[in-house]
Chains A and B, each alone.
Chain A
Amino acid sequence: MTDLLVKVATQNGLITAFTVVGLITVVASTLSARLTAGRVHASAIAIVIGLVLAYVGGRLTGGSKGVADWTMLGGISLMGGAMLRDFTIVATAFEVDPRHLREAGVLGAVSLLLGTIVPFVVGVVVARCFGYTDPVILTTIGAGAVTYIVGPVTGAALGASSDILALSVSAGLLKAILVMVGTPLAARALHLTTPRSAMVFGGLAGTVSGVTAGLAATDRRLVPYGALVATFHTGIGCLICPSVFFLIVRAWMS
């Protein structure tokens, strides 16, 4: 019987993923209502449960895809992959009020630029403090602090070694995790109450997955505004990190 269930679950990966995520959501809503009286958003709890399970999965299987390395749960990587993530983000645009977009257009662009410069500088300075002097390594780690996609794209373009690429991806991934978990906790301090504030946040915090998950767990209505700005983050980072920023770092080190 168990074999049969495992077989069916494995063959229908995506459907299994829907069931598993549904179960996690039920557990998260119960915890949110019973333990925190609704103060901590159920989606925030669900995301934390997801991260913890992903840690356990990575530890037990030694793979790189969290729980999706268990064959039975392979469908999780399809459900949580870039295709469905971006598809559902686009769908949230239906709730956007164009008036808010026009109001915050320039501010969104400014925070987008700051959101690329600040993480890059921090990444480079931290790497420098740890003794690295090679401009390729410094730029790759700085780019990783922008997002975990900009890091490897930049590193690959500059010819960085694979351990530096891994370090760069990890920096970006940790940033995304911190934003996911930290946003609902810091929402009040960040004044995340209006579409405009969400757009500033989307530009500065970068990382699409971090921003949208963090906003979803704070106030679902703010997701599309943050996402709209944050999705330009990776493109801009990939544009200026391996070019302008690399030249600046190289000039600084020589």
Chain B
Amino acid sequence: MIYGTAVLAACYLVGLALGEWLGTWMGIQANVGGVGLAMLLLLIARWFSRRQNADKPLLSGVTFWGGMYIPVVVATALQLDVHKALGAGFIALIAAVVTVLACGLLVRWINRHEPTIASIVSEGSDGHD
């Protein structure tokens, strides 16, 4: 358990550090894709441990935290400033609604060739996911 958690933590820290470094390098005060880079590092770590047939202990530690993801998001929702966001006035609300609609339409258009919900059932049973 601790093995997987430690590998995950190391990937997280290195990824975030890389993201900070990228941000400084580009001259902006933000982390550029640190979490995404950490995810890629974890994929590399999994690939290495698989090659040495050592991914079992890694698995339990990492899947625990992956499973904690949804509860953590619920906690995130619990501490958002919803009251102020809803009270900020029309301009924020309209900007948000129009943005979501515009992006939603674009997603729908780009994904127009993807299968609809019905077909994921067969895809899932084929073992693609």
CA distance A212 to B19 in the complex (A): 20
Q: B residues bordering A, Cβ < 8 Å?
A: 8-9, 11-12, 15-16, 19, 22-23, 26, 28-36, 38-40, 42-43, 46, 59, 62-66, 68-86, 88-100, 102-104, 106-108, 110-112, 114-117, 119-120, 123, 129
Q: How far is the CA of A201 from the CA of B92 in the complex (A)?
A: 22
**Contact indicator A90/B85 (Cβ below 8 Å):** no
Choose among B30, B75, B80 the residue that contacts A149 (Cβ–Cβ < 8 A): B30
The answer to whether B78 touches A53 (Cβ under 8 A) is yes
What number of residue pairs across chains A and B have CB atoms under 8 A from each other? 329
Partner of B35, one of A95, A180, A231: A231
Contacts of B78 in A (CB 8 A): 20-21, 24, 50, 53-54, 57, 66-68, 73, 76, 80
Q: Provide the main secondary structure of the chain B interface.
A: helix
User: Distance (Å) between the CB of A178 and the closest chain B CB?
Assistant: 5
Query: Across the interface, which residues of A come within 8 angstroms of B115, CB to CB?
Result: 191, 193-194
A91 and B42 CA atoms in complex are apart in Å by: 8
In the complex, what distance in Å separates the CA atom of A236 from the CA atom of B63?
A: 29
Further pairs besides A85-B72, A91-B63, A176-B80: 5, Cβ < 8 Å: A86-B12, A118-B106, A145-B96, A194-B114, A236-B32
Interface size on A, residues (CB 8 A): 119
Interface string of A187-226 (1 = CB under 8 A from B): 1111111111100110011101100110010011101100
